[in-house]
Structure 1
């Protein structure tokens, strides 16, 4: 840990000079005099008779991947499900989770982003109606009792030690998890000793490419992935700073509104987001109404949303079209661009849709993202 992250202060609780680390301050300050309690007896076990209430059907590639994952879970061997956005990654977990619950094991599904947990929670409640499930994220409501299945942001796993028999990490390449060694250690600490960690993502880093791996290059509905198109938007930053929406972007927005097509516009910074002209709703990581606004877009109560990369993953909106403004900016890595593109065409009823990279010069990351998507469509 970096020494610069440690801070001393005069502590009113112990009347001494205490030290705390600022790295995890959002989880609440833990100082050197804080008491941390660990359960050293036998862990609790759920008493529910679990029900598997999923009536969907796997395609042949999905069935193969699901069986491979189940085999790895039963053998306690780490497994990676590497599947394109919209391939049905979440559904692939269901059989392995159900088998683990039936065996009396406690299961955790972790993800770096709150939005992913908010999307997963109601889906898991429907699939496992007799299972005690908790969803843990910042500002989550209190949930009591013993949870046999826990859905949690990776930050919340700081609170656990050797608590889970089976752990899945969804979107394991997402910020901040992939860049934060302490979060990775938190996940490992939360698992029982020697328990394998299993990963699920469309854009794995090299470190995630474990020995056991299932690869899905097609979406569940069999249609090609929508390929992003590049469209120049010269001087967009200067125009936005003057309070003007570039003509080409305004035309794109008007077309979506006129056709009643829901849309997302991704912007590179919170500053650009907040200063964007007009009255379109907007969300970012600290927005208090983020969940409600996404729901309103899904229900077509609002025409579209301005957003940062906070919505690049874990959000499914039927027939949504997407524009990225400033796609050449460093924040838009190839993995981020692929994930954002993956919001489009997820529904079998609407397998196509517009994904446009508005740019002030084409970046290498833009080319990499487009090449990867075209490569999956050829496979």
Structure 2
């Protein structure tokens, strides 16, 4: 298919100095082969970094795909890209999407949906390359390589690249641009660790740990929204049930298999819900202003260093509310909790320098 119409970019925002460098590197590489990693802190504004490179690619008649591990990220990215490229044929691909049969020059897709394509894209942008399931499922690596043309360019985006990717970047085997500062210039919120006692046993008895209940009541009175991350669907269901009994607050829950997942996130974004209890499906890619974050049972092994860094990155994303709170309720500090906190402190230190 020939893509001949003008793909104008309708965006008049300004890039930070870090974003500008990354944007220019991406633009330079359009039309060539190879790969590039943009290693950008949570809230650096990775999507805006892509705009000018995508515009150049589209106007060269190249086909572009943005692949991301989570449906929620596709749902967040698609309207933003359609707004800035209003005359471009854009389609989003995820389970249940009505656009999956739409021929498009710019595709936003979950990594699983890439199996639909064979040698279709000149440029593949892999968002959150470290995220589950992409990082754990080698067949998805195959899906990416199958979906691109023999001559292609790969752009990787991540706030928490794997050790292998970091090593490749440091050894200059993988070209890399680093953005250590958020687009608004303020530091990442550093998590506060709060001892919550034997939270599993309390939950089994239909009770909440006292420090967590105290925080919930304060949060309710503040009228600020909060995401509460939990380790499993069973914890999610029990915790949501108890919160409804104990606290006068609008609360809902969401997980990967929830049939109303999309609607619940929209309601939370529209401020119809004050608290949203969620599994790690919303740990990345979802931007909600004026938000605090809590992790209930942060010592559980599902909360890895990268997961906790990403979760903390949900807070403080707007210039007007850059110091949102991040609380880790635990029954003993895990190594991942300590590593995540140090990771954020070191990133802030690097941004200052």
Normalised to the residue count of structure 1, the TM-score between the two structures is 0.87
Tell me the residue number matched to 2:289. 318
Q: How far does residue 59 in structure 1 lie from its aligned partner after superposition?
A: 1.4
2:243 to 264, 278, 289: 278
2:94 to 133, 137, 142: 137
Q: Do 1:69 and 1:214's aligned partners in 2 also have CA atoms closer than 8 Å?
A: no
Is 1:204 matched up with 2:167?
Answer: no
Tell me the residue number matched to 2:142. 185
Tell me the residue number matched to 2:301. 330
Tell me the residue number matched to 1:8. none
Tell me: higher relative CO, structure 1 or 2? Use CA pairs within 8 A at least 6 residues apart.
Answer: 2
Q: How far does residue 238 in structure 1 lie from its aligned partner after superposition?
A: 0.4
Aligned length: 336
Q: How far does residue 142 in structure 1 lie from its aligned partner after superposition?
A: 4.0
Tell me the residue number matched to 1:268. 231
Moved more, 193-202 or 97-106: 193-202
Q: Do 1:72 and 1:212's aligned partners in 2 also have CA atoms closer than 8 Å?
A: no
RMSD: 1.2
Unaligned runs of 5+ in 1: 1-43
* SS in structure 1 of the partner of residue 149 of structure 2: coil
1:194–1:173 distance in 2 versus 1, CA, 3 Å: same
Q: Do 1:46 and 1:146's aligned partners in 2 also have CA atoms closer than 8 Å?
A: no
Give the distance between the partners of 1:142 and 1:319, measured in 2 at CA.
32
2:8 to 47, 51, 60: 51
Cα deviation, 1:199-218, whole Å, max 9, x if unaligned, reads 00100113334521010110
Cα deviation, 1:86-126, whole Å, max 9, x if unaligned, reads 00011101111110001000000000100110000000001
* SS in structure 2 of the partner of residue 65 of structure 1: helix
* SS in structure 2 of the partner of residue 74 of structure 1: coil
Unaligned runs of 5+ in 2: 245-250
Tell me the residue number matched to 2:248. none
- Higher radius of gyration, 1 or 2: 1
Q: How far does residue 143 in structure 1 lie from its aligned partner after superposition?
A: 5.0
Give the distance between the partners of 1:179 and 1:73, measured in 2 at CA.
29
Give the distance between the partners of 2:320 and 2:229, measured in 1 at CA.
24
1:151 to 93, 97, 108: 108
Spell out the pairing of 1:71-82 with structure 2 (5 A cutoff): 71-82=28-39
Give the distance between the partners of 1:162 and 1:207, measured in 2 at CA.
26
Tell me the residue number matched to 1:290. 261
Q: Do 1:266 and 1:309's aligned partners in 2 also have CA atoms closer than 8 Å?
A: yes
Q: Do 2:30 and 2:56's aligned partners in 1 also have CA atoms closer than 8 Å?
A: no
Cα deviation, 1:15-60, whole Å, max 9, x if unaligned, reads xxxxxxxxxxxxxxxxxxxxxxxxxxxxx12232211001111112
Q: How far does residue 300 in structure 1 lie from its aligned partner after superposition?
A: 1.3
Tell me the residue number matched to 1:18. none
Is 1:109 matched up with 2:80?
Answer: no
Spell out the pairing of 1:243-258 with structure 2 (5 A cutoff): 243-258=206-221
Give the distance between the partners of 2:349 and 2:208, measured in 1 at CA.
37
Q: How far does residue 70 in structure 1 lie from its aligned partner after superposition?
A: 1.9
Tell me the residue number matched to 1:301. 272
1:259 to 222, 237, 241: 222
Q: How far does residue 356 in structure 1 lie from its aligned partner after superposition?
A: 0.6
Is 1:362 matched up with 2:333?
Answer: yes
- Larger helix share, 1 or 2: 2
Q: Do 2:23 and 2:49's aligned partners in 1 also have CA atoms closer than 8 Å?
A: yes
Cα deviation, 1:184-236, whole Å, max 9, x if unaligned, reads 11011000013132100100113334521010110000001100011101111
